[in-house]
A and B are shown apart, each in its own frame.
Chain A
Amino acid sequence: MNKVLLIIKREFNSRVKKRSFIIMTILGPLLFAALMIAPIVLMRLEDDEFKKVAVIDETGMFFNSIPNTKYLQFENVSLQYYDNLTASYNLTKAKEDLKNTDYYALLYIPHTAVQTNIGVVQLISFRQPNMALKLHISNSMEKKLEDIKLTIKAEEFGLTEEDVTNILTVVNTRIEVVTTTLDEKGEEKQSSTEIAMIIGYICGFLIYMFVFMYGSMVMRGVIEEKTSRIVEVIVSSVKPFQLMIGKIIGVALVGLTQFLLWVVLTFVLVFFGQRILLKDYNPEKFNPNPAVVGSTLDNQTNAPDEKALKYEEAFKAVFSVNYVQVVTFFIFYFIGGYLLYAAMFAIVGSAVDNETDTQQFMLPISLPLILGIIVMMQVINNPASSLSYWFSIIPFTSPIVMMVRIPFGVPISDLIISMLLLIISFVFMTWFAAKIYRVGILMYGKKVNYKELWKWFKYKN
């Protein structure tokens, strides 16, 4: 055991000291922080544009509760599209008309929006609406709904104001704005900018990248030991299995170190980025003359506060994701996926004499990984499909696919099955790899194929 620790230490130290590791560790957080702050900056750019939004409100409850702002004006067009014959709203016609009017978007609030705890309203536009607009709608509607519910319930139970405040802390209604962008032909294209999805997407892709990066690091390490002929010196002191597992764990620790540094540095950068941005848009500093603002279109909210408020809202959205949960599962699936694939990479490294010979064995490794990435795209569109389910259960793709599913909410049973299967398969794969590895590392100048690998597997000791 002591010897495995020595090996882990060497594998870790020799890699962490490399220049490429240090550069990657610094560049990563800069990129991620930029990705997280970019929506806020973009929002600021778009903010200055004046937008008119048409509203069809089937419930008749919300129109007045969505306030106009400096840049946003809501107009009720419900009556215009009410079809007396069918006693319903003609949404199709409204969509068609959207092209010919100067409305930026059409907000459709169906009856169903108030029937469940998560009400869904549609925002239909030609361009992807920005986050500020969506947040504005959902926040206003949530507030209105809560007020209505509160008034009804308070009356029903004869509650005092104090009781209501107590209840308020418990009541939490969400309004989700599902956006539908229309292309030139007027066809609907479902899309989403939900931050949770982006996070899932990034995580899935990071796992793919990490498994490939650190898996091939293991492979190159094995090849290095083989070509430099140090391996026979080492295996006369330690068992080949100890050498293999020490290398795999050492590289895993390198990966984890990098990931944790990325997380910490990213949060530090975003935190300071937030501070700087919010400071810049400090109401007093930004808008020294409130009297001027008072005469704009905005009659309901105080304009100077509004902007700062929006940034705060945007940051709230960015931080609304349960990062602790995401990071925890990410670490599990990264380690699990990495261990599964690192064992396979170790087999390839032990089978060849130099890196150029690895190509012929890479297919069984890269195929499931790339498949995982392809399925990931589908999962984002349809997280509840059986495709998503199976690929998040099968160990070879589960690290990528499950990470994308997690932000959408995954049943605990699915998670447990997926995690258990992953653990079982990497234990099995490590055992399998060790049997081939111990033969392969001492074989030189042999043309190796899959049949040969199978023969090695069956060797006794």
Chain B
Amino acid sequence: MKHALIIENIEKRFANHLALDDVSIQVPEASIYGLLGPNGAGKTTLIRIVNQITAPDRGKVYFNGEPISSKHISLIGYLPEERGLYKKMKVGEQALYLCQLKGLSRQDALKGLKKWFEKFEIQSWWDKKVEELSKGMAQKVQFIITVLHNPTLLIFDEPFSGFDPINANLLKQEILELKRNGATIIFSTHNMSSVEEICDYVALINRSRKVLEGEINEVRTNYTSNIYEIQFEGFVNIIETSLSHEYKILQVDKNLKDTIIKIELLNKNISSNDILKRFLEFGNISMFRRYLPKMEDVFIKVVGEANSLTE
């Protein structure tokens, strides 16, 4: 597999605080890579190192196989978490300026911007001052500025914050479109459901160290515990009394006819077939599956465990 970005043994220290401790990450080409972690874990520092805003104390960053340098700046698009625009400047003028800073010529920037403004149907904003725009509107403009110079690596830090669901969805489609066109995307967020929806790979950073990395479904499967979901017609109270020593019931949802039950196996020797056999007695089974944990569960589990260990 070809990697768009390889981060090797990065270490970064601020005065008396170690922000990144021996972090290595490999981002496969044309994928969406989720960078997760609690606040203050070191994600932003890592992103700033990739953007060459700060330099690491130790370690290397490779971009398309070459050690990263200033010539790569025009190939990277970065939408930081703390983002804004000059309030008093006009939208179009400002977008032109920022695109030119990325290395585009004025004509190319103008042509590209016209296209994007048409696509998002925001041509009328061109001569407005930024302070006249709402937060969501400004975010749209910022997104355009980030992607306009056709970067091969895009870094989005909390891209959906400040968007309503419709525009968030629009943005998601655009990000997926960028991936289809061959761009590699690093995606940093706290919003775990969006991670599940669009990420191919994830890495979890906690307390300056990488604690988890891999293909997203692999990660989720690895964290599967003995939890099953069963949907059937019948009554729950019988199960409760007869099986309480083998299973722990986590959750019960009742419809008119059906019951969906989530159970955790207490005895590791029991196989899934054993469970099925037992449940056949209680009623018609319409669904039986091993529960795949949400990224949120994984996140809470990994971070929570690590933090409880040290505290």
Residues of A within 8 A of B (CB): 3, 6-7, 10, 14, 224-225, 228-230, 232-238, 240, 442, 444, 455, 459-461
Which residue of chain B lies nearest to A461 when distances are taken between CB atoms in the complex? B55
Does chain A have a CB within 8 A of B97? yes
23 contacts between A and B (CB under 8 A): A10-B97, A14-B88, A14-B89, A225-B86, A228-B84, A229-B83, A230-B83, A230-B84, A232-B83, A233-B80, A233-B98, A233-B142, A236-B51, A236-B53, A236-B73, A236-B76, A237-B101, A238-B101, A240-B53, A455-B15, A459-B14, A459-B15, A461-B54
B16 to chain A, nearest CB (A): 10
Chain B minimum-CB-distance residue to A235: B53
Are the CB atoms of B84 and A3 closer together than 8 Å? no
A282 to B48, CA, bound (A): 74
**Contact call B82/A6, Cβ cutoff below 8 A:** no
What 5 A-B pairs come out closest when comparing CB atoms?
A229-B84, A461-B55, A228-B84, A237-B101, A232-B80
Task: Flag if B53 contacts A442 (CB, 8 Å).
Answer: yes
Contact status of A237 and B73, CB under 8 A, knowing A6-B100, A230-B85, A232-B80: yes
Residue from A7, A10, A229, A232 whose CB has the most chain B CB atoms within 10 Å:
A232
By a CB distance below 8 angstroms, the chain A residues around B55 are: 460-461
* CB-defined contacts of B82 to chain A, threshold 8 Å: 229, 232, 444
Give Cα distance in the complex from A235 to B103, angstroms: 13
Nearest residue, chain A, Cβ from B102: A237
Q: Check B66 for interface membership: any CB of A closer than 8 A.
A: no
The complex places the Cα of A230 from the Cα of B86 at a distance, in Å, of: 7
Q: How far is the CA of A383 from the CA of B77 in the complex (A)?
A: 59
* Proximity string of chain B (193-231) to chain A, C-beta cutoff 8 Å, 1 when within and 0 when not: 000000000000000000000000000000000000000
A14 to B83: give the CA distance in the assembly, Å. Answer: 20
- B47–chain A nearest beta-carbon distance, Å: 9
The verdict on B57 contacting chain A, using a C-beta distance below 8 Å, is: yes
Q: A224-B86, A233-B80 are in contact. List 9 more A-B contacts (CB 8 A).
A: A6-B97, A228-B86, A230-B84, A232-B82, A233-B142, A238-B101, A442-B48, A459-B14, A461-B55
| Docked complex Cα distance between A237 and B83 (Å) | 14
Which residue of B is nearest A224, CB measured? B86
Chain B min CB distance to A111 (Å): 69
Give the shortest distance, in Å, between A135 (CB) and chain B (any CB). 52
Q: Which of B48, B57, B76, B101 has the most chain A CB within a 10 Å cutoff? A: B101
Residues of A within 8 A of B97 (CB): 6, 10
Return chain A residues, CB-CB under 8 Å to B88: 14
B76 closest partner in A (C-beta):
A236
Cβ-defined contact, B101 with A234, below 8 A: yes
Task: Pick the most buried of A233, A235, A238, A240: most chain B CB atoms within 10 A of its CB.
Answer: A233
A233 touches B48 (CB 8 A): no
Q: How far is the CA of A17 from the CA of B137 in the complex (A)?
A: 26
Least distance between B102 CB and chain A CB atoms (Å): 5
Q: Are B98 and A234 interface neighbours, CB within 8 A?
A: yes
Most A CB within 10 A of own CB, among B52, B53, B98: B53
Query: Residues 101-120 of chain B: 1 if any A CB is under 8 Å from the residue's CB, otherwise 0?
Result: 11100000000000000000
Complex interface: chain A residues within 8 A of B14 (CB): 459
Residues of B within 8 A of A459 (CB): 14-15
CB of A119, distance to nearest CB on chain B (Å) = 61
> In whole Å, how far is B111's beta carbon from the nearest beta carbon of chain A?
18
List residues of B (103-161) whose CB comes within 8 Å of A's CBs: 103, 142, 145
